């Protein structure tokens, strides 16, 4: 009887959460922002210390969140072929290094200042470094900028960042597990070998990998792709390479029409389980821990908005893009989202860092997931306004301009 009651409670709570996520998602699309901040807020509202704490969905949410991370990285890998990754690396490696230096340093510095030690610094460096590929891609599509001259620069940097995660996550996982320097170097070596092997296999035998998971029947195709993703993710996790990296590499190995069909089939599942992942992160974050770190989150948001703008400007300038295009490139990279929460989730789940990191990451992503799309939308009209004002000042001449008109 007790079990039946707990099952009923879990189903009611789960149904309410999923329906609520649907409402929040609809609201996000209507106001033109990413749903990630609203999902995080929903988790904060129903977690420990929230308005209505939920306790019956923990087991499902935990497994669902793991599947959400796997699907996020799998579909990200499906967007790239091995050729595109290699081309992107050749084109953007220098800009990628500048991106790492400018955007990882602020997070690491704040962690050190707050006394979170080297592990906290490594985790926060990842949180502030990587842009949200999902948010960036959607914003570029919504604004009709996919054909712009600066867009290949933006995409090249995103490719570099995603590939950098394939090296970063195994190192972070090893450090969080407390295996020390030797273990970290071992994890890095395994990651290097694994990535090299996957790229070679994808280049030479991608058709074979695609044929193994492909099927005409949608049901069979879904089971094969999802099963393969979970299997590879589990094996990667057992090797301390990170389940997320394993899924990402599998996505790279699948190519052609198989990758396109898999993306269409898996997108609804990804959105569902990714939403569960963000909600779980919010559920595990006590809202009372956010106010003490809100100042640090705002400071990080301001600094890393400027550093991403500088990254995009510098990278686009190297490709001969005009000033307005450089600004658009920088603004497009501002958004942080799913990867920042994945990194923070790994750090907090390991127990190697405190809950303050989760609170800071939550507040930071809430700010950046909203600031990113806003920056991308307003950068062009703001730049145009300044350009027109400067032109009026030049045309008017020094003797015809009032002091208040000079910028």
Spatial contact of 157 and 92, defined as CB atoms under 8 Å apart: yes
Tell me the per-residue pLDDT of 17-54, one tens digit each, with 9 for 90 and over: 888 888 888 888 888 777 888 888 888 887 666 666 66
Over 80: is that where the pLDDT of 58 sits?
Answer: no
Longest dimension (CA), the chain: 88
What is the pTM for the complete model shown? 0.78
134, 80, 62: which is closest to 337 by C-alpha? 134
CATH architecture of 2-393: Up-down Bundle (1.20)
| Res 400: pLDDT | 52
Over 70: is that where the pLDDT of 405 sits?
Answer: no
Tell me the per-residue pLDDT of 102-149, one tens digit each, with 9 for 90 and over: 999 999 999 999 999 898 999 999 999 999 887 887 788 778 887 888
Tell me the per-residue pLDDT of 199-228, one tens digit each, with 9 for 90 and over: 777 777 778 888 888 888 989 999 999 999
Over 70: is that where the pLDDT of 403 sits?
Answer: no
> Tokens 């920088």 map to which residue?
330
Spatial contact of 84 and 78, defined as CB atoms under 8 Å apart: no
Rounded Cα distance, 101 and 252, in Å: 26
Average pLDDT over residues 305-324: 93
Radius of gyration of the chain, Cα coordinates, nearest whole angstrom: 22
| Res 186: pLDDT | 74
Query: Angle at CA 351, nearest 5°, toward 349 and 352?
Result: 120
């Amino acid at each position: 009887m007790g079990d039946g009651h707990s099952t009923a409670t879990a189903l009611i709570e789960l149904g309410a959460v999923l329906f609520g996520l649907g409402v929040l998602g609809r609201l996000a699309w209507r106001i033109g922002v990413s749903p990630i901040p609203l999902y995080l807020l929903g988790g904060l509202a129903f977690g420990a210390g929230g308005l209505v704490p939920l306790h019956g969905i923990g087991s499902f949410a935990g497994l669902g969140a793991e599947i959400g991370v796997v699907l996020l990285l799998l579909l990200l890998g499906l967007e790239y072929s091995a050729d595109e990754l290699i081309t992107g690396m050749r084109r953007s490696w220098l800009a990628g290094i500048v991106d790492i230096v400018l955007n990882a340093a602020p997070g690491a510095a704040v962690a050190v200042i707050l006394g979170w030690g080297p592990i906290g610094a490594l985790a926060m460096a990842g949180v502030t470094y990587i842009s949200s590929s999902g948010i960036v891609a959607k914003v570029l599509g919504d604004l009709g900028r996919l054909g712009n001259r600066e867009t290949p620069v933006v995409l090249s940097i995103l490719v570099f960042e995603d590939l950098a995660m394939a090296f970063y996550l195994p190192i972070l996982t090893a450090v969080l597990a407390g295996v020390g320097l030797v273990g970290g170097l071992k994890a890095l070596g395994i990651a290097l070998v694994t990535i090299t092997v996957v790229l070679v296999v994808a280049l030479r035998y991608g058709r074979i990998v695609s044929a193994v998971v492909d099927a005409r029947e949608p049901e069979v195709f879904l089971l094969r792709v999802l099963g393969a993703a979970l299997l590879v993710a589990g094996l990667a996790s057992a090797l301390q390479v990170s389940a997320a990296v394993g899924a990402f590499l599998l996505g790279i190995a699948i190519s052609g029409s198989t990758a396109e069909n898999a993306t269409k089939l898996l997108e609804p599942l990804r959105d569902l389980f990714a939403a569960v992942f963000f909600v779980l992160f919010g559920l595990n974050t006590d809202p009372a821990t956010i106010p003490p770190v809100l100042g640090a989150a705002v400071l990080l948001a301001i600094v890393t908005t400027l550093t991403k703008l500088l990254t995009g400007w510098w990278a686009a300038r190297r490709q001969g893009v005009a000033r307005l295009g450089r600004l658009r490139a920088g603004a497009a990279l501002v958004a942080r989202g799913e990867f920042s929460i994945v990194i923070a989730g790994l750090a907090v789940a390991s127990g190697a860092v405190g809950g303050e990191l989760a609170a800071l990451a939550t507040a930071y992503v809430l700010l950046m997931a909203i600031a990113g799309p806003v920056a991308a939308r307003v950068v062009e009209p703001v730049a145009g306004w300044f350009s027109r004002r400067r032109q009026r000042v030049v045309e008017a001449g020094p003797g015809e301009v009032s002091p208040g008109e000079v910028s």
